[in-house]
Amino acid sequence: MPLGFRFDNSYARLPERFFEPCLPTPVAAPRLVRVNAALADTLGLDAAALAGPEGVAVLAGNRVPEGAAPIALAYAGHQFGQFVPRLGDGRAVLLGEVVGRDGLRRDIQLKGSGPTPFSRRGDGRAALGPVLREYLVSEAMAALGLPTTRALAAVTTGEVVQREEARPGGVLTRVAASHLRVGTFQFFAAQGDVEGVRTLADYAIARHYPELAGAEHPYRALLEAVVARQADLVARWLLIGFVHGVMNTDNTAISGETIDFGPCAFMEAYDPGTVFSSIDYAGRYSYGNQPRVAQWNLARLAETLLPLLAAEEEPAVAMAQEVLAGFGPRFEAAYGGGLARKIGLGTAREGDGPLVQDLLRRMAENGADFTLLFRSLGDAAMEPEAAGARALFADPAAFDGWAEGWRRRLAEEPGGAEASRAAMLRVNPAVIPRNHLVEAAIDAAVERQDFTSFEALLDALSRPFDHRPGLERFTLPAKPEERVLQTFCGT
């Protein structure tokens, strides 16, 4: 049965130093966990065939589909601020690119597919747990409407990987607008390879920002475009309570998609200092630091582009600084506007910013669950008792003190309370991948080969804005004994 891949591998046509040809390493006994049928369809693939023996062989790396040109991509990156000149795909291969039914070009990558020339001391493999985590969280992000890489499939390998202990292995088939990273630019810039940077910039423009090709200054325009997409992306992370966890420059995509779901997690009680990653000792990548880090990462991108911005260093630096200064206003507009919509304000008025900041301060002081509180505001707009919202505050009077001014402001919105309620329910999700649910689904799969929790959670996450009777447990915060305080890269 043909799987339907019609590859057109533009990255593999770039100069040789951009990648290393590299085949996936076959695994002992591949078994399918899941194929994402809707995504397969968008990509023009046959989901049923992918779930069959030939398809699973491809998804496990045991068979290379016709037309693929498997490569491991070269990149560098700042990891927790430390520059590493050669990282690259150490546990992934890009099979190739396909143009979907929607006309969009996407990478098809196998993650956990065995050693590559970039593996250093790693085994090139992925444990099943992190594979399932990336599957759940990336698909949740997509359903929430955020730019993100996707999960096309997950398989188990029938082999174990040795981490702190032996774990079952898995392979994720990841789909991305591309795998160009800030670190890809750094790879060439660090070697003084200006032609490499230029080739990459031209490729990035052609692939992600074709409208800029005719700009007066295409490289400046590229930097502006990436700054804008990253500012919007991080604003959207904050608006749903997402903590990426490892915002290294090699995990910052030029496309503006969320990429590399490692120790990522969702905040429960609102606290800007929230950190989950076990290795983020200093809180560099905490929830509230994410805008600052994104800007720092973009400054690293700008540095690589300096030779393309102007012939002399001084005007090049001035231009880069000017573009980078655009991050703040762009982020503030996206974040501020988004917060206003979360409290039902579609029009902008003086005083809206302080109103929402006052709410956030009270939430932080009272341990209010971020997701549930905003979700409860829809009902609170209709019911003066606002029992749902009040109950989320350690001191319910803290909500009352805020709600009085909010109700007055809400009354100025066109359409009345019913329209405000509907608007809030459209932007404030009920279901997010809560950490205890993600952990429980992974545990059942890894410890007992039981994927029912994984499937049920994935289904709940696929419609995050719907209230579906019977699925309340997916909306609730962890009980104290269920709380997950730390997450791990698990690579």
Q: Please report, as ranges, the residues that interact with Mg ion according to CB under 5 A.
A: 251, 260
Which range of residues in 59-67, 84-92, 167-175, 314-322 is near ligand AMP by CB under 6 A? 84-92
Judged by CB under 6 A, the stretch of 120-128, 151-159, 300-308, 372-380 that binds ligand AMP is 120-128
CA-nearest of 60, 140, 156, 150 to 108 is 150
Largest Cα–Cα distance of the chain, in whole Å?
Answer: 66
257 binds ligand AMP (CB under 6 A): no
88 forms part of the interface with ligand AMP (CB under 6 A): yes
Is 168 a binder of ligand AMP (CB under 6 A)?
Answer: no
**Burial code of 62-85, b = ≥16 C-beta within 10 A, e = fewer?**
bbbbeebbbbbbbbbbbbeeeebe
| Residues 101, 79: Cα–Cα separation, whole Å | 37
Taking CB within 5 to 8 Å according to partner kind, which of ligand AMP, Mg ion, none is near residue 279?
none
Least distance CB 148 / ligand AMP (angstroms): 15
Of 244 and 342, the one with the shorter C-beta distance to Mg ion is 244
262 CB-side CA count, 13 A: 18
d(CA 381, CA 416): 9
> Does 251 sit near ligand AMP (CB under 6 A)?
yes
The minimum distance between CB 91 and ligand AMP, in angstroms, equals 4
Does 379 participate in catalysis according to the annotation? no
Residue of closest CB approach to ligand AMP: 122
- Cβ 67 to ligand AMP shortest distance, Å: 25
Find the binder of ligand AMP among 122, 192, 283, 315 (CB under 6 A). Answer: 122
Residue 162 CB coordination number (10 Å)? 11
Task: Evaluate whether 71 touches 12 at the Cβ level (below 8 Å).
Answer: yes
For residues 242 and 140, the answer to whether their CB atoms sit within 8 Å is no
Q: According to the binding rule CB under 6 A, does residue 123 interact with ligand AMP?
A: yes
Report in angstroms how near the CB of residue 184 gets to ligand AMP at its nearest: 12
Question: How many residues make up the chain in this entry?
Answer: 491
Q: Please say which residue, 357 or 486, places its beta carbon nearer to ligand AMP.
A: 486
Residues of this chain, 125-154, that bind ligand AMP according to CB under 6 A? 125
Selected from 46, 89, 97, 280, the binder of ligand AMP by CB under 6 A is: 89
Calpha distance 394→83 (Å, rounded): 44
CB-nearer residue toward ligand AMP: 123 or 332: 123
CA end-to-end distance (rounded Å), the chain:
34
Contacts of 405 (CB under 8 A, 6+ apart): 355, 358
| Whether 36 contacts 97, CB under 8 Å | no
What sign has the CA pseudo-torsion 333, 283, 428, 431? positive
Beta-bridge partners for 269: 369
Contact 293, 79 (CB under 8 A): no
Residues binding ligand AMP: number (CB under 6 A):
17
Active-site position among 46, 89, 232, 250:
250
Choose among Mg ion, ligand AMP, none what residue 124 binds, the Cβ cut-off being 5 to 8 Å by kind.
ligand AMP
Closest residue to bound Mg ion by CB? 260
**Angstrom distances, CA of residue 192 to CA of 189, 324, 436:** 5, 22, 46
Helix (H, G, I), strand (E, B) or coil at 455: helix
- Which one of ligand AMP, Mg ion, none is in contact with 90 (Cβ closer than 5 to 8 A by kind)? ligand AMP
Any bridge partners for residue 108, and if so which? 96, 175
Interface stretch with ligand AMP, choices 29-37, 114-122, 190-198, 355-363 (CB under 6 A): 114-122
The residue within the footprint of ligand AMP, chosen from 260, 268, 280, 369 (CB under 6 A), is: 260
Partner that binds at residue 262, options ligand AMP, Mg ion, none, CB closer than 5 to 8 Å by kind: ligand AMP
Work out how close the CB of 124 gets to ligand AMP at its nearest, in angstroms, rounded to a whole number.
5
Contact footprint for ligand AMP (CB under 6 A) = 87-91, 118-119, 122-125, 250-251, 260, 262, 489, 491
Q: List the catalytic residues.
A: 250
